[in-house]
Structure formats: C-alpha cells, structure tokens
Amino acid sequence: MRKLAICAALAAAFAPGLASATDGYFADGYGIKAKGRAGSGTAMASDAFGGANNPAAMVFVGDRIDFGVDLFSPKRSASRTGSSPLLGPIDGSADSDSDYFLIPEFGYNKMINPNMSLGVTVYGNGGMNTDYPGGQIPAASACAGFATPLPNAGPYNLLCGTGKLGVDLAQLIIAPTFAYKLTPSQGIGISPLFGVQRFKAEGLQGFAGFSTSPTNVTNNGYDTAYGWGVRVGWFGQLSDTVSVGAAYSTKIYMSKFNDYKGLFAEEGGFDMPENYNVGIAFKTTPKLTLLADYRRINYNDIPSVGNPSAGLLQCAGGNMSYCLGGSNGAGFGWQNVNAYKIGFEYQYSTELTLRTGYSHNDNPIRAQDVTINILAPGVVQDHVALGFTYKRKTGGELTMFYMHAFDKSVTGSSFFNNFTGGLPAGTETIKMYQNSVGIAYGWRI
C-alpha cells in the first residue's frame, strides 16, 4: 500500500502537464495496452485500469500493479483569411507551441477473496491545450474595437486580445474500484471517481466586453477545481472465445473555476461529461483476439462546453444570461461524440503479444463555432495504433505503443462577421494532427 500511495502522488504531481484531444478532449484509451489497440478493451481483463475502462474487469485481473507514461504530441494551427482591407485587415495565422505532454497512469488491484477485489486506477482523463504566439494582427485594425480596456495599442492575437493566446485544461481522475463475481464467468464493479482539474486562459481580452465578469475572463493564472462521480460496469465471459463488457460513468460534478467565472457558463462551471462504453472480444483463433468497442461522450450536456458560441449575439443584444459566465453563457458549441474502435491482439509467443487498432469518432466542432474553437481545436477523428507486450522470465511485463491521429481541419465563417458592419471578416480554419508513444511496466503481486 505504501507503493500505491507513492505512485498515486506522483501521478497527481504530473497533472498540470496533462493535455489530450482525441475523442473530443478525452483520451483515445486508458492503459498502455488499450492504447495499443486504439482504445478498445471494455471486454478484456488484462491490466489494472478497470477504473478507467470497466470496473467489473478488475475481479478477473488478479493481484496486479501497472504504471506507465505516455508522451503525447498534438500539432495545432489556426488561420483567418479573406477579411476586408478596410478592417485593417484581421487576417492571420499561427501554430500552437507546447507540443509535448507527459501523461502518467497507475493501476493497482488486490483480490480480497476469489470472488472480490479492491483496487485503484489513477489516470489523465484528457484535456485541451493551445499556446499561440500573439502579434498576428496589426494595431491599426478592427481588433481595436474589441480590446478591453480601450484604447489598446496592439498588435493583437487571432482573437483580438493582446499577448499570447491559448488555454490549458488538464484533468486527473483517481478511481478506487470494488468488483465482485456474480458467477465464475460474470462480474460487476463500481468506481467512485475523484476528479481534479486545472485551467488557465491567456489573451482573451477581446471577449471581456461580452462577459458578466470582465475581470475573470483571462490572464488570471491557473485555477483548480475538484469533484466526484461514479463509474459502474459489467463483465461477462460468455464462452471460451467470447467476452463482453459495458460501463457507465455519471457526470463528474466539479467545483467552479472562480478565477474564470466570467468565461465559463454558470459562473465558472466546468463539469466532466457523462459517458458510457460497450465492447466485445472474440478469440478468432487460439492466438488472435478481435475487439470492438463503442463509446459515447455527452459533451453537449455540459453548458460551458456544449452551449453554442452564437449566444454572444444575444449577449450583444442585451440578454446578459447568454454572456460569458451567464446562466446560459456562450460556450464552445461541442456536440456529443460517438467513437468506434476496433482492435487486434495476437499472442505471437509465450513472451510476446502484438497489438494494433483503429478508431473513428465524430467531430464535436461545427463550422459555426470555429472561431471560439481556435482555443480548443479538438477536431481529429481517425487514429491508428500499434503496440506490444514483452513478458520477462521474472513475470514482469514491458508494454509499449504508438498512436497517430490523422490531420483534420474545420473551416467556417468568422464569428467576427457579425460585428464588422457588413464588411467581410473572412473565414477561419482550425487544424490538428497527433502522435503519441508510451511505455508501461506491470507485474502480478
């Protein structure tokens, strides 16, 4: 248990560096083994990450400890073209800095008796990060009309603020897990979820005039929020060749970001969304297992994430509830995401297991919300992954994976077209692709 406490503390210490954006802003998978299968594995019990995937699987894992780290590299860019010269113009482009993030993970499981287990999973749920340099738009431009306070000398960033532009959201979850075998081949599990998240925003001075609390929109450093939820799961081995699983996570109800109560709806609210997943694993040959998973993430139910950015128009018309920070405050306009994952695991030898997988998810961002999502361009949809586990003679397992998310972009009319008196403000494009590589070590205890 001392090792458990140390590893959990180390994972928590890494939390400020977490960043992810694959299935929206959730990670593509949890646990290095699952990541090597592109996130599939709801119906497989192979490590101690049931608290993140399926709590019921833990009672089939046995006594075990796993820890690892993922080096995640998202490449993000944004641009605006086609604005009228009479506006200055306000065209510009920028690539986001801060391209590498360490995402730690830890899992522990202990059998209390042959039918009951207790464990814990500590993992980075996801996040979003952008870090654009400022100065793309000259001082003599329409951005001067958005700057707060006035006058502002500029030059301006892509969202008409000053200095660097971006956000940094990191989410960590600690999931103690209890699992119980209903029969020798079926089990249920429950994981209370304790969430921690950190956030900061920079360069959003251009939006302060659309806020219920203008001094709590941007450049207030990091703020931290805490909360709780619960995940429940079921796991069943239907035969020697087929297993199935399902898990459901409630919304994680978080305390508010008080330092950003003028940015997020409901005075700084930013809960983690409800989600659920189902999966099947089919052993097609004694050595080859085929896995298929479906995951649903209900981003649209979180006002600060799902409310449309068009609410700013009602704010400009005098309805303060639609202003940033209001009870109906404008958000990122993210839609719910369906993710489909397929994975393969091949037992090449008693020492070596090979993995691969592909996943596809809906794009949460619509063209009409592209302007605000310069901050959070979570647009990637297609991922491929490779991985392996090498089992040492001592029983320890070394696992590695590589993931690539293909380049994806979304283009839409700039939201600034609503405020330029009929002069074109142009169109905007946000883009992203990703690479990730991870390593883990686990063993039975």
pLDDT digits (tens, 9 = 90+) for 211-264: 999 999 999 999 999 999 999 999 999 999 999 999 999 999 999 999 999 999
How many H helices and E strands in the chain? 5, 16
DSSP states along 63-125: SEEEEEEEEEEEEEEEEEEEE-GGG----EEEE-----EEEEEEEEEEEEETTEEEEEEEEEE
Instruction: List the one residue out of 196, 324, 312 whose CA is nearest residue 261.
Output: 324
Q: What SS3 class is residue 10?
A: helix
Quick one: pLDDT at residue 9?
Answer: 47
The CA distances from residue 201 to 162, 187, 209, in Å, are: 12, 43, 16
Please determine, for residue 336, whether its predicted confidence score (pLDDT) is greater than 80: yes
Name the DSSP letter for residue 397: E
Percentage of the chain surpassing pLDDT 70? 94
- Band of the pLDDT at 384, cuts 50, 70, 90? very high
In this structure, what token pair is assigned to residue 376?
């959070």
Quick one: pLDDT at residue 145?
Answer: 79
In this structure, what token pair is assigned to residue 418?
């609503």
**Are the C-beta atoms of 34 and 53 separated by less than 8 Å?**
yes
Quick one: pLDDT at residue 88?
Answer: 85
Q: What is the dihedral of CA 85, 410, 386, 272, to 10 degrees?
A: 110
Quick one: pLDDT at residue 14?
Answer: 44
pLDDT tens sequence across 289-321: 999 999 999 999 999 999 999 999 999 999 999
Ranges assigned E (strand) in 114-222: 116-129, 166-183, 186-202
**Beta-carbon count within 10 A of 278 CB:** 18
Quick one: pLDDT at residue 335?
Answer: 97
Quick one: pLDDT at residue 12?
Answer: 46
* CATH number for the segment(s) 2-444: 2.40.160.60
Please determine, for residue 13, whether its predicted confidence score (pLDDT) is greater than 70: no
What is the pLDDT of the chain when averaged over all its residues?
Answer: 93
pLDDT tens sequence across 18-45: 555 689 999 999 999 999 999 999 999 9
Quick one: pLDDT at residue 20?
Answer: 56
Name the DSSP letter for residue 255: P
- Band of the pLDDT at 140, cuts 50, 70, 90? confident
**Are the C-beta atoms of 179 and 217 separated by less than 8 Å?**
no
In this structure, what token pair is assigned to residue 231?
């995940």
Instruction: List the one residue out of 153, 156, 148, 89 whose CA is nearest residue 414.
Output: 89
Q: What is the rounded average pLDDT of the residues 86-104? A: 92
Q: Find residue 253's DSSP bridge partners.
A: 228
Please determine, for residue 359, whether its predicted confidence score (pLDDT) is greater than 60: yes
Cα angle 406, 412, 418 (rounded to 5 degrees) comes to 155
Quick one: pLDDT at residue 413?
Answer: 97
